[in-house]
Chains A and B, each alone.
Chain A
Amino acid sequence: MELKKTFLKYFKIFLHLQKIGLMSRTAYRANFFIIIFAVLIQASFSLIFIKVVFGFLNNISGWNYYEALVIVATYLIVEGLMWVLFGQFNTIVKQIQQGELDGLIVRPIDTQFLVSVWRGDSEDIVRIITGLGVIVYALNNLNLTLTQITVNSFFYIFMLFNALVITYSLAVLFKTISIWTIEARAFFHLTDSFSRMSQYPTDIFYHKIVQTIATVIIPLFFMATVPAKILTRGFDLKIVLSSFIIAGVFFYISRKFFQFALTKYESASS
């Protein structure tokens, strides 16, 4: 009962902040629509890149064109969710620089939750829509039965969730460092680059050591390749379990790191 009450409280706060976010983003209406256009262009570049490369090849490391499209689409969906739900966790950087984090810490709500959902970029929903559209297109062109698509999609949703947790945890880990460094433009580029590089199949890493790094240390493998693999090639117990473990471990580490970093926070405003 208590848990349900807490969940509802946090959900209400989340919805309220999303509403405020949408209002502030649409305050400059022309700018809002221009950004939507820009996001669409950015998303289309990933697709054009794959189209051009596959204009010369039949497959990349065992992935055909439509399977590779599913990887790109998964990246677009995860990236879109990161922007819409958490604003890529960029709030913390700005709040620290302007000394505004104090205002969030003192509230009777979990600070990490509040920092995470403080800003959501609603225009990035077009990334998610584009990603979903590409998945439908790719699945239509892959040799899968309706039953296969249904079963695979069920597991895909879990893998997508894990990919989001991993991407979110990486953002928390890197951007929280700004508590020490204050200036942190590079951290935005860092997490953005990790996320962007997940749109290529991780089977391209033909050296064992690089493959291990891409699986365990910077888990690009689980950020787009794994969900796409499950959706296009079916359930694989080992991969699914690993995905849950990696997501759990990364979330735990990032949570602990955030809590530790807060104890070191020195307000820039006071």
Chain B
Amino acid sequence: MSKYLLIFYNSIQRSLIYRFNTFSLLFIQIFVFGVFFYLWSSIYREGGQIGNYSLGEMVTYYFLVIFLSLIIKADVAWRVGDEIRLGTMTTILLRPISYFGYTFSRLAGEIVFNTAVYFSSFLILFLFLKDYLNISLNLEQVSFFLVSVILGTAIYFLFFYMVGLSTFWFGFVWGFNFTMSMIVSFLEGAVIPLDLLPEFITRMSNFLPFKYIMFTPISIFTKRTELTLDLLIIPLVWVIALYFISLIMFKIGVKKYEGYGA
């Protein structure tokens, strides 16, 4: 266990080195949020209405999309893919650690670092925007939200870990990773809230794990959904399923691994 804690700790240290990058990303996302804020406010000022969303709900929705994107979206597939393609995975395989544990600990370190930095920044932003945001929380809701975010992060990580592992078969998955990132960002509700899309897309998203990454946690936070255990049990089942599929993928894929370039 201590070896994974060390990887976790090193990951936080590495994030500290690239703090310029971290703060630049924060600035960029605030800029993007600013444009969306004006887009929605100008629509609602002119008397428009998007679905059954109030201005407060819409602004809060995108506020949380940006916050969660900053925290959970690490380049897992890209890194795993490169380690397979360039042969650098060999150095990890030769050590007495599991590759999954190594990748997970590294990501966990980044998430903890990102949460610390971005949570405090968004708290300040929240104080400026509190009149526009629709936030009134109770303990049950916060607990549901936190568990839901953890499960959503796990789904995101496991899915893109598998996309990265597909390099064992395809050799180079930049295009595949890019495609999946696009599709996932749409089906998780980061582009448009899923309940504003045509019904067949909403229905289709019920059979996929992606809506639990963003749409479900945000719906919990904004009280747009009833707090039932289903909201946590279904993504938990997805996490378990994706975990076992990723283990199988690794077991089969690593047999094809040649480590060229190492």
- Residues 173-209 of chain B, each 1 if its beta carbon lies under 8 Å from chain A, else 0: 1111011001101100001100011000000000000
The yes or no answer to A30 lying at the interface (CB within 8 A) is yes
A83 to chain B, nearest CB (A): 13
A81 to chain B, nearest CB (A): 20
Given contacts A38-B175, A38-B182, contact A183 B18 (CB under 8 A): yes
B72 to chain A, nearest CB (A): 16
The yes or no answer to B24 lying at the interface (CB within 8 A) is yes
Chain A contact residue count (CB 8 A cutoff)? 38
A62 to chain B, nearest CB (A): 9
Q: Is A49 within 8 A of B51, CB to CB?
A: no
- Residues 10-35 of chain A, each 1 if its beta carbon lies under 8 Å from chain B, else 0: 00000000000000000010111111
Nearest residue, chain B, Cβ from A196: B32
A197–B39 CA distance with the chains assembled, in angstroms: 10
A48–B196 CA distance with the chains assembled, in angstroms: 11
| Most chain B CB inside 10 Å of its own CB: which residue of A38, A200, A210 | A38
Nearest residue, chain B, Cβ from A46: B191
Given contacts A52-B192, A187-B24, A193-B32, contact A34 B38 (CB under 8 A): no
The yes or no answer to A190 lying at the interface (CB within 8 A) is yes
The yes or no answer to A37 lying at the interface (CB within 8 A) is yes
Instruction: Report whether over half of chain A's contact residues are helix, strand or loop; otherwise say mixed.
Output: helix
Within 8 Å by CB of B183, from A28, A35, A41, A203, lies A41
Given contacts A61-B46, A186-B25, A204-B38, contact A197 B31 (CB under 8 A): yes
A196–B34 CA distance with the chains assembled, in angstroms: 13
Nearest residue, chain B, Cβ from A185: B21
- Residues 197-232 of chain B, each 1 if its beta carbon lies under 8 Å from chain A, else 0: 100000000000000000000000000000000000
Within 8 A of B (CB), among A86-138: none
Q: Is B49 within 8 A of A37, CB to CB?
A: no
A195 to chain B, nearest CB (A): 11
A53–B191 CA distance with the chains assembled, in angstroms: 12
Show 21 A/B contacts (Cβ-Cβ < 8 Å), sorted by A. Answer: A30-B170, A30-B175, A31-B172, A31-B173, A31-B176, A35-B174, A35-B179, A41-B183, A41-B186, A45-B185, A45-B191, A56-B51, A57-B48, A181-B20, A183-B21, A186-B21, A193-B31, A197-B32, A205-B38, A206-B38, A206-B42
A residues neighboring B (CB under 8 Å): 28, 30-35, 37-38, 41-42, 45, 48-49, 52-53, 56-57, 60-61, 181, 183-187, 189-190, 193-194, 196-197, 200, 203-206, 210
Q: Which 7 A-B pairs have the closest CB atoms?
A: A186-B24, A34-B175, A38-B179, A35-B175, A204-B42, A31-B175, A197-B35
